[in-house]
Chains A and B, each alone.
Chain A
Amino acid sequence: MFHIDTMEGHQRMSTQDLLLKIEEAVTGGETDFEITGSGQHDIGGPLWHPEGKTLHFHVTNPGQRVGSMCLDNTEIVVDGPAPADVGWLNAGGKITVRGDAGDTAGHCSSGGKIYIGGRAGARTGSLMKHDPLYEEPEMWILKNVGSFSFEFMGGGRVVVCGWDSSQFASVLGERACVGMVGGLIYVRGEVPALPDDILCLDLEDEDRAFLAGGMGDFLDSVGKPELAAELSDWSEWKKLRPLTFAEKKPQPQPNLADFRMTGWVRGGIFSDVAMDDFAVVPTVNKGLYRLRVPSWDNGKYASPCEFNCPSGIPTQRRFDLLREGKEEEALQLVLQYTPFPGSVCGTLCPNPCMEGCTRGSIDEAIQIGALGAKSAQTKVEPPKEHTDKSIGIIGGGVAGLSAAWQLALRGHSVTVYDEGEKIGGKIEQVIPRSRIPHELLEKELQRIQDMGVKFVTGCHVDHEKFEKLRSAHNALIVATGGTKSRFFPWEGLENLTMGLDFLKKVNAGEHPKVGRHVVVIGAGNSGMDVASDAYEMGAEKVTLVDVQRPAAFQKEIHRILDLGGSIVWPFVTSKITPEGIYAKDGRFIEADQVIVSIGEAPETQKFLPDDPKIKRFREDWLVPSEEKMIMPGVFAAGDVVKPGRLTDAIGDGLRTAHCVDRFVRGEAITPVVEKKVIPMERLSRAYFEKCHHCDLPENPEEDHNRCVSCGTCRDCRMCLNSCPEKAITRNALPDGTWEYVSDPDKCIGCGICAGVCPCGIWGLVDNPEPIPMYRTYGREEMRKCRAQ
């Protein structure tokens, strides 16, 4: 027996001195210790006898951690209470505390036995473990434990007997077993609320056997054998164990969908103003929920050639027909728009259609003028049905003849009255024969007559005649054009020759005399015509002067330059003398003849009534209404309204004819609807490779390969074959045409059809179909809702 009293008078032995003495004694073979402590820590471990004998400690008044890190073969009995951490990290010792234990008794112990003969403090048994290589640790407590006990416990068995604890709401304090993952706790008495993952179970046989097997030794050790019977009513006991990892169910996750359906305001808080089924649509959709939809816009837009042609000739349709092999139809189509495809389109027209041609932005414009010439000989069947309406047209120039042609095509009786000996206006009377073969003009005039149009030539219309014509016809068109040369009040006007008279005389075969040196005032197209005729009539040198850059077509200018002519500009005429012409800046050009050709003005006062209701511009030109009318039943077209090119006159004749047709039929007159030109970005020019000039086809009809067919479907099937959803079908229509249709139930609105369409037929527009989702909510509905 090794006895140590740690107090000598008032001198207390330090923990360090005590533990070194004990260790020295154990090394020396001592096995029995009687220690009168005074708060020294860590008494009892870790110690081992050199021969493996059991070490016995009998301790009073220990400090913290009595029996800490205790090994097997160590037995400690504390007479009375012990402070915190009894058996901390106990690895095998048997530690008995006959009184109460402080906090964290058995903390982290993983072997041996700990007997507490009273209460144990907070966090008792926390982090106890069981190393499977050794016996599992046990801790027996006679009374109760403090709060937070058995936190993070991982193994071992704890017995809380709950004796003398009825004054406590719980024998485990509060918040026991938090984070416990292993081990067992047997408890007798009130159990607190436990975490969700701790089971509180009745005992089974094995449990009862364990308790019965250990109870005697425990009670004997703590000196209470008399309690055996009281504590052995197993029905008062419970067993606590944590769910195993496998048993643990995943935490129930919040389920908002359930909550919305069962707990939330029925139908949703916006159900009064927003009809919503809460269904979620994907990012890419078919049908109603597509953001955008394709739109088949065949013919909605004018091609640039169509748009730039004053008569609106849809040349792309001619080439589409040619591509289909329908040559005759292609050549006839143009005659729906003009009676002069040969004389004007193919010969005299500067072809504004070609200036805007999309193909021109790739290589060269499609040969549209030349294609027009191909229709010069084309026959058109007269209309099968005739109306009883008769229309008189005063003026047999291109405007009047264009109107006459259109009205005849519509089955009306048309008579054209012209003052000249021959019908045809300026083409016949003024434009030099060198610019247009006379036979071509005559053929096209004949075609107009073949259509049923009556020509009355040599017909002078004065006021009286006008009224007669007006009463003889259902409608009249004034298309008398510009009939007098315009000039300014220059000095020496008596020396001036009128261009229009000069040109007329030439074409009439009168061979007017010209000077050797001729100056032409005005370098426009008619000025070039004058110059050309002047050379024809024997002039040696022709000089054209103009106040501005010459307005004539390049072709015409070059024709004159090639003949030896010259152009002087800017030249502001001040005086004309028999010797020549003076500019305001003093320049002088020698000339024995000066011809003015700065345009013509109409002379309608000669036959129209003196009616202030007839609107005019600068006293000469007529200003018709939107319906092309100047007075009831009297319409106007061509240069009598506004000077222009031949093609402008044809277009104006066409539009006037449209109004006249409606008028004589007694229908409301609505002007011809002009299509918008197709936006260039709708076209896919990338399909078309630049063509070398040498590779242009000689026959313009073969240019259908180069024609983009702007705005009109060329039936290439690119859309049909490119659609990723196979939503597009091609429908053949009874009239021989076709349409492509996109099925909304298949289409996702991606716009590939629009993207790949060479002609700009498919567009992609915001889905126009409304989705009825929102509303204001009627009062009645609100009342009903509140009543519910």
Chain B
Amino acid sequence: METIKVQDVAVNDLPWRIEYHAERCTRCGSCVASCSFNAIEVVVQRQSMTVSEQNQPSPVRRQLALAIIKQKKDLAYMCRGCGMCERVCPNNAIRPVRNPDDRKALLSRDNGPIKRGGRTNLNAQRTLDSIIVGRISQMTDPALDSVRHTFDIRAPFGRVLSPRELPLTVSGDKLEMAHRTPPVRWIYPLIFSDMSIGALSTRAWEAVALATAYLNEKCNLPVRMSSGEGGMPVKLLESEYLKYFIIQIASGHFGWNRIIKAMPHMVTDPGGILIKIGQGAKPGDGGLLPEAKVAEHVQAIRGVPKATLSSPPNHQGLYSIEESVQKMHLSLNAAFGFRVPVAVKCAASATSVAVYHNLLRDPYKICGGFFIDGIQGGTGAAAEVSLDHTGHPVVSKIRDCYLSAVRQGLQGQIPLYGGGGIGLTGNAAADAFKMICLGANGVFCGKVLIQLLGCIGNEKGRCNACNTGKCPTGICTQDPRLVKRLDVDRGAQKIVDYVLAFDKELRKLMAPIGNSSLPVGRSDALVSTDKAVADKLGIQYVC
């Protein structure tokens, strides 16, 4: 007789159920040993029965007690669906199965709002998938050959002046610059974005950094990596590779002490500075690093004790956009002698166009890029209510910003970068291409990178445990036992391979529309099978 009460948490209340076949199980224990969430355990199960094997009722009692693997009925130890058990099981005896009747959202607010990592699980619908590259050069004009033609796949990072504003003077038979113009770097239109030291393990961060350097050094792809808001490794700051990295400053200003201290020892300028105002996954919310991940090195780099680190939702001391431009942009331009472009990243918002206008009107021409981060961006930790219910899709926002600049004849002056869900369905090149055709100069992506490293999370509720410090793949944790599961070289290799294929695929899309340089704003190349999307973006509706 069992004594279960109706309000006890049951396995069927949890988002994932463990499907276990005792008859296949060898009791090798690997599944339990590998589960970082401690979600399964060994228990003894009893099978008792009274059987009769004679020609007349002859009751014989049989009892069998056997060890089985069982899922814990506990929200604190709930299965996250990561599937490590399935990976290690030699006999296909165990695997997590999504539970459609899950009541977790109702039951797990005992300690306040639900927190998790990942990205929105409610708003994962994909505008970009209803858009097709539908205008193919055929008999009207020549398509290019993606393999044999030379393509100019570079995007500006920095404030681009209009030709009229160039300080050109004629000196004899030569043109000369009367004074310096804002710094502009021509980079690959794919930026590795903003995952902090702390949110990522040392190994995961290093793998992304290693891939960045490799792509620059060996593949001639000037990909840039943004540091995220947790500072930079001092050894990287003082290395020649610094030029491939964009140093981020967010409201917490974490890690800037070591960055400034490293300045006299820098052998090159950084690739850029990115002021993070907001983040697509949790707009209006500051960064969040749970205590479980604030290991000694994170404490050291950030200059804080072991505690849950919340960045303020806005930069302290900035009360207006004008002040933001003056204080942050000017100061960070000044920090590197006005040689390094400074860009700003905001969460996509109903107000993005107004912000972009303000930046475009800035008479000092000091903003070198506007990064718009959509609702499908990722995060290491956030309140679920923010992840699922706040934010703004990035696609139409990029389009709105671009078109409003076009109307003023200012397009291209502050490069637009779009992110948040780039590569969500696997093909970042297609996403990037479409974003560029709609007006972006380039895109930034983060989650696809960690997925390449081995992250098994997705926007259908799988894993999303980046905030727990128990990342089974060693990516979003600082626990050495888990961190050391991650192979830096293999992870970096995967990113490099992906970007090399991205580059080829981007050409595959540029060639048929006949563009040998990035088709920024060439929305004529796109059609949509969704009338509303087509109307909103001003592209052809097709069916």
Interface residues of A (CB under 8 A from B): 148, 151, 175, 178-179, 254-257, 259-260, 263-265, 267-274, 276, 278-285, 289-292, 361, 684, 686-687, 689-690, 722, 724-725, 748-752, 754-756, 758, 764, 767, 771, 773-777, 782, 785-786
Apart from A270-B297, A686-B65, A755-B41, 4 more pairs, CB < 8 Å: A264-B213, A276-B484, A292-B33, A752-B67
**Can you list 9 A-B contacts with CB-CB less than 8 angstroms, sorted by A residue number?**
A254-B218, A256-B492, A264-B241, A272-B234, A290-B33, A687-B44, A749-B33, A755-B67, A767-B481
Residues of B within 8 A of A178 (CB): 147-148
A179 to B147, CA, bound (A): 9
Q: Which of B13-66 contact A (CB under 8 A)?
A: 26-36, 38, 41-46, 48, 61, 63, 65
B489 touches A754 (CB 8 A): no
Check B265 for interface membership: any CB of A closer than 8 A. yes
Residue of A nearest to B483 (CB): A773
Chain B contacts of A255 at CB under 8 A?
Answer: 493
B327 part of interface (Cβ distance < 8 Å):
no
Q: Which of B32, B33, B206 has the most CB of A within 10 A?
A: B33
B236: chain A residues at CB < 8 Å are 265, 269
CB contact under 8 A between A256 and B27, given known A284-B33, A755-B43: no
Of A254, A271, A771, A786, most buried by chain B (CB within 10 Å of CB) is A254
Please give, as numbers and ranges, the residues of chain B lying within 8 Å of A254 by CB-CB distance. 214, 218-219, 493, 496-497, 500
Asked, given contacts A254-B218, A686-B44, whether A771 binds B297 with beta carbons under 8 Å apart, the answer is no
How far apart are B507's CB and chain A's nearest CB, in angstroms? 14
Distance in angstroms from A258 CB to nearest chain B CB is 9
B87 within 8 A of A: yes
Contact A284 B481 (CB under 8 A): no
- The CA of A777 and the CA of B88, in the complex, are separated in Å by 37
**Does the CB pair A278–B27 fall under 8 Å?**
no
Q: B210 within 8 Å of A by Cβ?
A: yes
The answer to whether the Cβ of B131 comes within 8 Å of any Cβ in the partner chain is no
Give chain A nearest CB distance to B230 CB in angstroms: 12
Is B209 interfacial (CB-CB < 8 Å)?
Answer: yes
CB-nearest residue of chain A relative to B148?
A178
Q: Is B428 an interface residue (CB 8 A)?
A: no
Give the nearest-CB partner of A280 in chain B.
B487
Q: Please state if B27 and A724 are interface contacts (CB–CB under 8 Å).
A: yes
Chain A proximity of B12: nearest CB distance (Å)? 19
With a cutoff of 8 Å between Cβ atoms, the chain A residues found around residue B265 in the complex are 786
Please, how many angstroms separate the alpha-carbon atoms of A284 and B33 in the complex? 6
Q: A254-B214, A755-B43 are in contact. Are A777 and B300 (CB under 8 A)?
A: yes
B486 within 8 A of A: yes
Does residue B299 face the partner (Cβ distance < 8 Å to A)? yes
Contact A273 B489 (CB under 8 A): no
A121 CB to nearest chain B CB (Å): 16
CB-CB nearest in chain B for A775: B296
- In contact, A684 and B480 (Cβ under 8 angstroms): no
**Chain B, interface size: which category?**
35 or more
- Quick check: A259 and B214 within 8 Å, CB to CB? yes
Select from chain A the residue with minimum beta-carbon distance to B472. A283
Known contacts A263-B217, A270-B202; A776 and B300 CB within 8 A of each other: yes
Chain B contacts for A175, CB-based, 8 A: 148
| Residue pair B42, A750 in contact (C-beta under 8 Å) | yes
Residues in B with CB closer than 8 Å to A256 are 210-211, 214, 488-490, 492-493, 496
Closest 9 CB pairs of A and B: A750-B29, A755-B42, A273-B297, A686-B46, A774-B296, A257-B489, A771-B480, A269-B233, A684-B44
> Closest CB-CB distance, B78 to chain A, in whole Å?
16
CA distance A786 to B218 in the complex (A): 27
- Chain B residue nearest to A362 (CB atoms) is B1
Chain B residue numbers with a CB within 8 Å of A755 are 41-44, 67
Whether the pair B234, A782 counts as a contact (CB closer than 8 A) is yes
Whether A270 contacts B235 in the complex (CB less than 8 A), given A254-B214, A278-B489, A775-B296, comes out as yes
A283/B88 contact (C-beta < 8 A), A254-B219, A269-B206, A274-B202 known: yes
* Assembly CA distance A748 to B30 (angstroms): 8
B259 at the interface (CB under 8 A from A): no
Is B29 touching A751 in the complex (CB atoms < 8 A)?
A: yes
Does B301 touch A at the CB level, under 8 Å? Answer: yes
Instruction: Give the residues in chain B near A276, CB-CB below 8 Å.
Output: 202-203, 484
Chain B 206-257 residues near chain A, CB threshold 8 A: 206, 209-211, 213-214, 217-219, 233-236, 238-239, 241
Q: How far is the CA of A537 from the CA of B36 in the complex (A)?
A: 72
Chain B hits for A284, CB < 8 A? 30, 33-34, 88
Does B84 sit within 8 A of A, measured CB to CB? yes
Give the docked Cα–Cα distance between A291 and B211 (Å). Answer: 29
Tell me which residues across on chain B come within 8 A of A273, comparing CB atoms. Answer: 202, 233, 296-297, 300-301
Q: Let me know if A264 and B210 touch, CB within 8 A.
A: yes
In angstroms, how far is the closest chain A Cβ from the Cβ of B358? Answer: 37
Instruction: Provide the residues of chain A in CB contact with B211, threshold 8 Å.
Output: 256
Asked if residues B44 and A724 are in contact (CB atoms below 8 Å), the reply is: no
Once the chains bind, are A689 and B300 in contact (CB under 8 Å)? Answer: no
Q: Are B478 and A750 in contact (CB under 8 A)?
A: no
Q: Is B295 part of the contact surface with A, judged by Cβ < 8 Å? A: yes
User: A754 contacts which chain B residues (CB < 8 A)?
Assistant: 41-42
Q: Are A289 and B300 in contact (CB under 8 A)?
A: no
A689, B44: Cα distance in complex, Å: 13
B460 interface residue, CB < 8 Å from A? no
B504 at the interface (CB under 8 A from A): no
B485 contacts the other chain (Cβ, under 8 Å)?
yes
Of the candidates B87, B235, B295, the one having the most CB atoms from chain A within 10 angstroms of its own CB is: B235
Which of A175, A283, A774: most chain B Cβ within 10 A?
Answer: A283
User: Is B44 touching A291 in the complex (CB atoms < 8 A)?
Assistant: no
**B32 and A751 form a contact (CB under 8 A):** yes
Given A254-B500, A686-B46, CB of A278 within 8 Å of CB of B488: yes
- A750 touching B32 by the CB < 8 A rule? yes
Interchain CB contact under 8 A, A291 and B481? yes
A283-B34 in contact (CB<8A): yes
* B493 and A751 contacting across the interface, CB-CB below 8 Å: no
| Least Cβ–Cβ distance between B490 and chain A, in angstroms | 8
Evaluate contact between B38 and A292: CB separation under 8 angstroms. Answer: yes
Q: Is the CB of B41 within 8 A of A773?
A: no
Q: Given the interface contacts A151-B148, A265-B236, A292-B38, does A280 sit within 8 Å of B485 by beta carbon? A: yes
Question: Which chain A residues lie closer than 8 Å to B488 at the CB level?
Answer: 256, 260, 278
Chain A positions within 8 Å of B61 at CB level: 689
**A260 to B210 alpha-carbon distance, docked (Å):** 7
Q: What separation, in Å, do the CA atoms of A77 and B26 have in the docked complex? A: 84
**Chain B positions 122 through 157: 1 when the CB is less than 8 Å from some CB of chain A, otherwise 0:** 000000000000000000000000011000000000
User: Contacts A268-B206, A269-B235, A686-B46 given: A722-B33 contact, CB under 8 Å?
Assistant: no
Contact pick for B29, options A257, A752, A773, CB 8 Å:
A752
CA A176 – CA B300 in complex, angstroms?
A: 57
In the bound complex, residues from chain B placing their C-beta under 8 Å from that of A684 are 43-44, 65
**A23–B492 CA distance with the chains assembled, in angstroms:** 66
Do A752 and B42 touch across chains, with their CB atoms under 8 A apart?
Answer: yes
CA distance A749 to B33 in the complex (A): 5
Bound state CA distance, A785 and B213, in angstroms?
21
In the complex, A776→B298 CA distance in Å?
9
Contacting residues, chain B, for A774 (C-beta < 8 A): 295-298, 300, 478, 480
Q: Closest Cβ of chain A: how far from B233's Cβ, in Å?
A: 4
- Residue in A closest to B68 when the chains form the complex, CB atoms: A755
Give Cα A264 to B202, complex, Å. 15
Take A256-B496, A281-B484, A756-B67 as given contacts and tell me if A689 and B88 are in contact as well, using a CB distance cutoff of 8 Å. Answer: no
Contact A148 B148 (CB under 8 A): yes
* A687 near B65: Cβ-Cβ < 8 Å: yes
A283-B34, A776-B296 known; A269 vs B489 contact (CB < 8 Å): no
User: A260-B488, A776-B297 known; A756 and B42 CB under 8 Å?
Assistant: yes
Docked pose: A279 CA to B489 CA in angstroms: 10
B28, A724: Cβ atoms closer than 8 Å: yes
Q: How far is the CB of A290 from chain B (nearest CB, A)?
A: 7
- Give the chain B neighbours of A268 by CB distance below 8 A: 206, 235
Most chain-B Cβ atoms within 10 A of its Cβ — which of A687, A756, A767, A775?
A: A756
State whether A724 touches B29 (Cβ < 8 A): yes
